[in-house]
Amino acid sequence: MGAKTGLLAHADGAVPDRLRQAAVGTAPDQERTDALVARLYPGRAVEPGGGPCDLFDAVYPPEWQAYAGSWPGVDVLCDRRFMLDRPSRLPAALVASGPGRRTVLHAMHSVVDWLAFAVWEDGRLIRSLSVSPDGGVLEDLGERLPFELPYWAGEHPVGPWPDDEDEEPYPLPFHPLSLGEDALRALVGFTIEGFLSPEDVDAMQVQLLGYRTI
């Protein structure tokens, strides 16, 4: 697996539903997006650059690059700086997006098999998980979400593979990147690797604007 993400989304309800309704095939509003970026990067020098880019390719931007899009009902922002070991520590300014909104953070890095995600409802954290084979469970807050349950129940074990029977058991009951793909689909509506579903958001048809942030 080679998946890496640093993604933050705000929506009036479920992010996948709002992306399908507002964003697929429709360019983001420039003024709304500029205002979103200005609000979420207070005190930083931000200027247009490096875009546009589709959501599928934008989920792990280069350093100091961000991709963003704002539509009625949904905002999306991609930046490596959202890749927090403990998602619950996301700055309050990034969580606060308006009354009644849902905020979703999704981050993973294939080099270290690390996954983190979190969900806030109306600014209140309801779930946060951060896990890797080397670090173990770094954060596990709130009630586990339905898509997680089969993983914690041992239904997706890792190895040992036929040629590696003497290898040490994998230190977790599942592979974080496998859960990460299911988390991305459930929380944002698409996957990076694996089989596509007819219900998935077509992330290649969601265009984001590029910004340089310093």
Residue ranges of alpha helices (H) inside the chain are 15-18, 30-40, 55-58, 92-95, 149-152, 176-187
Euclidean distance between the first and final Cα of the chain, in Å?
Answer: 30
* pLDDT tens, position by position, 179-193: 999 999 999 999 998
Kindly give the pairing relationship between strand 65-71 and strand 74-78: antiparallel
Evaluate if residue 2 carries a pLDDT over 80: no
* pLDDT tens, position by position, 108-122: 999 999 999 999 999
pTM for the full predicted model: 0.93
